């Protein structure tokens, strides 16, 4: 819907579904009712989550996309913390034995969704969607507002406008844009949509398996092992969420400055080390019934949350919104949301039996997954930071999925394909250039 009707309409449509589903949750009278309500609310939440990162990426300058997403994650964690503390406070009402404890928080979130729906009609449409759908005058005006204080003739505005037009013309050479083509990569030529879809989905799956879901679920238990009572354990869990919210500021400062890859790799190593130490301390603390060792283990919940919020929280959300062509960007980002759902769902199902069988040593599994994620990022995820959305097509033009080959080909094409670098229409497509370059060694051999 977003690619066809625009980003704003898709967000508003998701809001309608979300409000309807949330109102049904508040009024739920039985489990089946609640399940149906959750499904409807999920449609709305999924739609909004898929579109807003794309919308933000297309509005802001190429060197600020990461900061915008980091700020969004900060607000997201602020919402999570607000919800947690609201439920924590209501747990003291009638000792928690009241329907208000769960009905009020479900209704409270409707205020923010209604506010979003109220302001979205007054927000600007994505200039890239406008230009790609024949509304060039409105698109260039939006670019001018965000880049040059409304000066449509500003060189930066004109250059970016020409880049977008050139990218639209390039992408028109490959009309295969359905979900089937995106999953399989068939008929997508040198756009390599299948590879991009794989990267978007798996980055979100890896995010879940780096351990955040297990920490959220298992944190109260760890604090109880450390000797804290039920309410104190819940209180510390809420404080850990606040620490994560504050540490989103580090992502805001580093995600564009150091790049997506460095942030993910550093975060993966840090999270892996945290889990190895957390698992070892938790095991020793439980075996020796030592509250001091248990408290040390509990401290690593805070450390992990801090590292995760500063690294792996934001990047998996901004990356899928950057790597797809304009015509499929929203649908491509939706595959990231699918990956997030599959990742969180699989961890939620696997974590209880895993920790039941292994105890605190289950954290070793997440430690290993973090190292595997580092290897995946190093080999297959090219850097997108400080590159225009139009340059990304050049970044994925290589037939090789490995980063070192991708970067080598990108540097060559960036010098040759002036249509996307300087906004001047070129005579040859990316695909044609790639084929010619790869044919040269064969001709020389002959």
Evaluate if residue 136 carries a pLDDT over 80: yes
Domain at 2-123+191-380, CATH homologous superfamily = MFS general substrate transporter like domains (1.20.1250.20)
pLDDT of residue 425 exceeding 80, the answer is no
Q: Tell me the DSSP string of 327-369.
A: GGHHHHHHHHHHHHHHHHHHHHHHHHHHHHHHGGGGHHHHHHH
d(CA 329, CA 336): 11
pLDDT tens digits along 280-337 = 887 777 667 667 777 787 788 899 999 999 999 999 999 999 999 888 888 899 899 9
Q: Is the pLDDT of residue 8 over 80?
A: yes
pLDDT tops 90 at residue 81 = no
Q: In the predicted model, is pLDDT for residue 433 greater than 50?
A: no
Q: What pLDDT, on the 0 to 100 scale, is given for residue 171?
A: 76
- DSSP character string of 209-235: IIIIHHHHHHHHHHHHHTT--HHHHHH
- CA–CA separation, 362 and 351 (whole Å): 8
Instruction: Please give the pLDDT value at position 286.
Output: 66
Give the confidence band of 431 by pLDDT, cuts at 50, 70, 90.
very low
Whether 195 has a pLDDT exceeding 60, the answer reads: yes
Length reported for the chain: 446
pLDDT per residue as tens digits for the range 257-267 = 999 999 999 99
Residue pair 243/373 in contact by the 8 Å Cβ criterion: no
Closest CA to 77 of 215, 241, 192, 199: 241
Mean pLDDT throughout 207-233?
Answer: 78
pLDDT tens-digit map of 11-47: 999 999 999 999 999 998 998 999 999 999 988 988 8
CA distance 72 to 81: 14
Mean pLDDT of the chain: 85
Question: Which tokens belong to 131?
Answer: 């230009």
Q: In this structure, are residues 333 and 320 in contact, taking their beta carbons and an 8 Å threshold? A: yes
Q: Residue 440's pLDDT band (boundaries 50, 70, 90)?
A: very low
Q: List the structure tokens of 339.
A: 């990956």
The span from the CA of 413 to the CA of 397, in Å, is 9
Angstrom distance (rounded) from CA 53 to CA 118:
19
Residue 198 tokens, joined: 């794989």
**pLDDT score for 226:** 63
Cβ(256)–Cβ(64) below 8 Å: yes
Does the reported pTM lie above 0.75?
yes
What is the percent of the chain where pLDDT is above 90? 43
Q: How confident is the model at residue 418 (pLDDT cuts 50, 70, 90)?
A: low
**Which of 430, 444, 379 has its CA nearest to residue 405?**
379
Neighbouring CB atoms inside 10 A of 89's CB total 11
Model confidence at 439: pLDDT above 70: no
Q: Is residue 213 within 8 Å of 271, Cβ to Cβ?
A: no
**What was the pLDDT predicted at 97?**
79
Distance CA 236, CA 283 (A): 20
CA dist 224 and 150 (Å) reads: 57
Task: Indicate the Cα dihedral angle 255, 258, 262, 263, nearest 10°.
Answer: -30
Write out pLDDT tens, residues 325-383. Answer: 888 888 899 899 999 989 988 998 888 888 888 877 888 999 999 999 999 999 999 99
Residue 428: is its pLDDT beyond 70?
no
- The domain spans of the chain are 2-123+191-380, 124-172, 397-437
């Amino acid at each position: 819907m977003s690619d066809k009707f625009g980003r704003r309409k898709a967000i508003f449509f998701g809001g309608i579904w979300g409000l309807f589903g949330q109102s049904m949750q508040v009024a739920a009278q039985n489990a089946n009712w609640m399940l149906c309500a959750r499904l409807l609310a999920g449609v709305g939440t999924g739609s909004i989550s898929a579109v807003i990162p794309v919308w933000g990426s297309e509005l802001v300058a190429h060197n600020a996309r990461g900061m915008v997403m980091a700020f969004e994650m900060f607000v997201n964690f602020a919402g999570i913390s607000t919800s947690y503390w609201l439920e924590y406070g209501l747990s003291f009402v009638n000792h928690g034995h009241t329907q208000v404890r769960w009905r009020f928080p479900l209704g409270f979130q409707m205020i923010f969704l209604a506010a979003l729906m109220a302001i979205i009609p007054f927000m600007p449409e994505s200039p890239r969607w406008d230009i790609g759908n024949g509304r060039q005058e409105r698109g260039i005006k939006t670019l001018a507002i965000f880049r040059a204080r409304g000066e449509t003739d500003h060189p930066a505005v004109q250059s970016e406008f020409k880049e977008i037009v050139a990218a639209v013309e390039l992408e028109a050479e490959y009309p295969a844009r359905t979900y089937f083509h995106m999953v399989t990569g068939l008929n997508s030529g040198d756009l390599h949509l299948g590879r991009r879809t794989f990267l978007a989905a798996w980055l979100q799956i890896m995010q879940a398996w780096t351990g955040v879901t297990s920490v959220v679920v298992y944190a109260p238990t760890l604090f109880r092992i450390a000797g804290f009572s039920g309410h104190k354990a819940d209180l510390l869990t809420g404080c850990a969420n606040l620490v994560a919210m504050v540490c989103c500021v580090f992502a805001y400062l580093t995600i564009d400055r150091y790049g997506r890859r460095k942030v993910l790799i550093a975060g993966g190593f840090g999270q892996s080390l945290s889990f190895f130490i957390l698992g070892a301390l938790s095991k020793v603390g439980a075996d020796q019934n030592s509250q001091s060792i248990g408290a040390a283990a509990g401290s690593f919940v805070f450390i992990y949350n801090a590292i995760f919020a500063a690294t792996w929280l934001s990047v998996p959300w901004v990356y899928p919104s950057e790597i797809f062509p304009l015509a499929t960007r929203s649908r491509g980002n939706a595959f990231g949301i699918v990956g997030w759902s599959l990742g969180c769902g699989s961890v939620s199902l696997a974590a209880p039996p895993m920790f039941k069988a292994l105890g605190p040593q289950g954290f070793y599994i997440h430690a290993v997954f973090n190292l595997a994620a580092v290897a995946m990022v190093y080999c297959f995820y090219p850097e997108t930071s400080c590159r225009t959305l139009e340059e990304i097509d050049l970044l994925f033009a290589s037939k090789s999925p490995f980063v070192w080959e991708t970067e080598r080909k990108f540097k060559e094409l960036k010098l040759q394909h002036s249509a996307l670098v300087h906004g001047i229409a070129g005579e040859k497509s990316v695909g044609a250039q790639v084929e010619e370059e790869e044919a040269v060694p064969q001709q020389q051999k002959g």
